[in-house]
Amino acid sequence: MFYFATDILGTIAFAISGVLVAMEKKLDLFGVLIIAFVTAIGGGTLRDLLIGNTPVVWMRDSVYVITIVITVIVAILFAKQLKYLRKSLFLFDTIGIGLYTLVGVEKGLEAQLLPIMCIALGTITASFGGVIRDILCNEIPVIFRKEIYATACILGGVSYFLLNKLPIPPNYAFIIAIFVVILLRILAVKFNIRLPNIYRN
């Protein structure tokens, strides 16, 4: 139940980030719904396909689709309030990658994968919904820019396995690792920490 709740919260956060991008691009209602949908379930769909967990989770459990539709409606109704929140897209996107990274790691553990594969799965879960969103909206995906994005997911996943070696409850390790991802992403943007640019001027 704890991990399911985390998954739903991640779905909501990413659906809102999808709505915000779609509205910036002035898409119609159908376009907004599609962008929110692929942002929320894109990474999880790829994750499930990679580990052979089919039909994928949102096809087996209608609560995901219902959650996305309700989130889209609420986000549209309160669009003006969301715009007043400075950097609201960044906020919801960051919360989403934190939650989804650890959901993906847990799915990898359930599939009995090696820790490094679990971390990769968590990063895919967190990142690829945003990749699909940005491509559909004619943007270069954040993960392919210099910003710390996937790196935060990887370090959060690593921290989860390290925390599990300490004498603390697994749920605490799970929550702390989520905040590691979120905090790293926020600090990277706040202090303009970027990956090195391989191109020379």
The amino acid sitting at 194 is: R
Q: Are the C-beta atoms of 180 and 151 separated by less than 8 Å?
A: no
Q: Are the C-beta atoms of 104 and 129 separated by less than 8 Å?
A: no
* Mean pLDDT along residues 52-76: 95
Q: Where are the domains of the chain?
A: 2-190
**Nearest Cα residue to 50 out of 99, 158, 123, 102:** 123
| pLDDT at residue 50 in the model | 96
| pLDDT at residue 198 in the model | 66
Q: Are the C-beta atoms of 79 and 92 separated by less than 8 Å?
A: no
Percent of the chain with pLDDT over 70: 94
Q: Which of 19-23, 143-147, 148-152, 167-171 has the lowest mean pLDDT?
A: 143-147
Q: Provide the whole-model pTM.
A: 0.91
Using 50, 70 and 90 to split pLDDT, how confident is the model at 87? low
Using 50, 70 and 90 to split pLDDT, how confident is the model at 145? confident
| pLDDT at residue 84 in the model | 65
